[in-house]
Each structure stands twice: as C-alpha cells, then as structure tokens.
Amino acid sequence: MGSYQSNTSSEIGYSSNRVQFEDDWFAQGAARRAYRGKYCAGPKEGQLCVVKLYKEEWCSHLNELAWKADTRASEKAQEMAVAFNRDRPTSKPIKFVIPDITNVDTSSGFNLLWFIPIASNVKGKLAGTAESSAEMVPKGASIAIEEYLRGEFTKFNSNSSYVNHDVGAYGPGAFSHYTYHKSRGTLLISDIQWIRQADGYHFTDPAVQSVEGVSSYGATDLGVFGIIKFFQNHHCNDLCRGFSKPDLSKIPRDALADVNRLLQAIKQRHSSTYTYELQRAGVPDHRMRQLQMRIPQAIAE
C-alpha cells in the first residue's frame, strides 16, 4: 500500500486509535477523500486502514459536525444488520463498518527553507493537480478511520433508487426493504456498497432515509422522499416475504404535485443524492417540512 508518511491523528471522543497515513489520496467522493494508512496506537496497532478526510464544503451543508451524522447512520445500520441476520439468516451475513473518528494532529507535507518549515505540494483536489499540504490535510480536520478490507467494492444501490442488477444478490435489496419493515416505516437504509469476504458481506457508508426529517442522518438522508423513491423501483424477492411496505397510492391528492417535484429532484444515479439537491425542486422549505410530517402516516400499510 505504499510508504506511510507522518500525517498523524490524535484521539477524539471514544476512540483510542491513532494512525499514520500517506500524503496523497487514492479515491474521493463528494464528502471525503480516502488515504491509505495504518494504525500506530491502540488495539489495532500495525494493521492497515483507510483514512477518510472530510471536505469542508461538505460539512457546510450540515448543522452539526459531519462525522456525527455518519457515525449515527453506521450505528443504526449495524443495529438493523444484526436483526436482519437473525430474522433472515443466510450463508453470507452482513455487517456494517463503524468508523473510528479522530482529528489530524500533524501533517507530513513540509520542506525546510533556512530551517523554516514551508508547506510542500501534494496531490490536489483534482487528479493531476497539486496544492499545499496545509490546504489538503489541515491540522484539526476530522477523519474517519476504517479497517482496510481486501477485495473490490461493489455498489448495490444508491439513495436515489438506482439498483445494480448485474450483481445478482438478493440480500442487499431485501435488507433495505427489511429496515423499513423492522422500523415500522420510520426509516430505510440504502446507498449500499460492500466487499464480499469468506465470513459475509462487509458494508460501508450507508445512507439512512428517515421520517424524523430531511438530514436527520446527514446530507444523504432524503427523508420520506427517499423512502418513496426506493419503493418506486424496488422488486421484492423471496427474502422480502412478509415485509410491510408503503402504499404509495395513498399519497394525498393535494400533496401529489409537490411530492412529484421532489421525487424528480432525486435523480436516479449510481452515486449519492444529497439533501440540498431537493431545493432544486422549487418546493419551499416549510412546505417540505409539512409533507415530511404528513406523508409517512398517510402511506403506512
């Protein structure tokens, strides 16, 4: 995985793990950039890991620290996974990776000019560009640390009703449906990607669609509109037998126009859709909140 530089993390909250990670990211999404690293303290010392550094522009869309919403979503997803494995046992049980959270303590990307430390250039925000290390790995930035999983990640579904039909696995789709059933219609877990290993499926970075309100579980929580979008495209399989699902025909007539505008703003695609994209629907925030409170009860089975 390359050589590890002296980018380091400090302890935060409940985590006693510390890591070192490389200067240059190897992958990025809308929310974070991923770096290769290894644990240098704590019970996992010496093991390989993936370090995901939060982008400032992502954090600005939330009213709290982004990692808190991510941790809340991962913990809820793992709670549901335990119940699913018990209620629908298969040869490949599922498990969600819950990240450790720390802060950047020191950055390695520095040169010396007459004994004065000068930030050096590292891989920039776009491939083929370079930027200051202080800009790319700022001290104090929040990072999520996950144990390195060997294998290739497969995307099964997104939070916008996209489904990878080439995968041919029943479990992930049934799991998303199960979370709606198990929670009595209060949430649905989607945006599922995993690595398949001998002991089962290891899932990461889930999105929770919640009737508590848009963004309750972070900027990929599309609320009841994400739940409706999922069921518009979901095809039940044998594992879904007996699961409850919403009756979309019961959406009140006076709400249909605005609901359809919001659903059209959730573009079906492989990558995630974010809550701020709902604003493009032209539905005022107060109206969106009204629908969020009213629709779940109307469509409940």
Instruction: For residue range 151-176, list pLDDT tens digits in order.
Output: 888 888 999 988 887 776 677 889 99
**Where does residue 42 rank: exposed (0-12), middle (13-18), buried (19+ CB within 10 A)?**
middle
* Percent of the chain predicted with pLDDT > 70: 85
Say if CB 222 and CB 159 are below 8 A apart: yes
In the numeric block, which tokens belong to residue 100? 């450790």
User: How far, in whole angstroms, is CA 29 from its chain's centroid?
Assistant: 10
CA angle at 100 for the pair 95 and 101, rounded to the nearest 5° = 140
- pLDDT, position 281: 95
CATH superfamily of 150-299: MHCK/EF2 kinase (3.20.200.10)
Say if CB 291 and CB 279 are below 8 A apart: no
pLDDT in tens, 199-228: 888 999 899 999 998 788 988 999 999 999
Separation between Cα atoms, residue 225 and residue 210, nearest integer Å? 9
In the chain, list all ranges with CATH 3.20.200.10: 150-299
Per-residue pLDDT tens digits of the chain, which is 301 residues long: 444 455 655 544 444 568 888 889 999 887 889 999 999 877 888 999 999 998 876 665 555 567 888 889 999 999 999 999 999 988 889 999 998 888 887 665 544 334 444 556 889 988 889 888 878 888 888 889 998 988 888 888 999 988 887 776 677 889 999 999 999 999 999 998 888 888 888 999 899 999 998 788 988 999 999 999 999 989 998 899 999 999 999 999 999 999 999 999 998 888 899 888 998 999 999 999 999 999 999 998 6
Task: Tell me the whole-structure pTM to 2 decimals.
Answer: 0.85
Burial 195-206 (b: 16+ CB within 10 A, else e): bbeeebbbbbbb
113, amino acid identity: L
Cβ-proximal residues to 246 (8 Å cutoff; 6+ apart), any chain? 180, 185, 227, 228, 231, 299, 300, 301
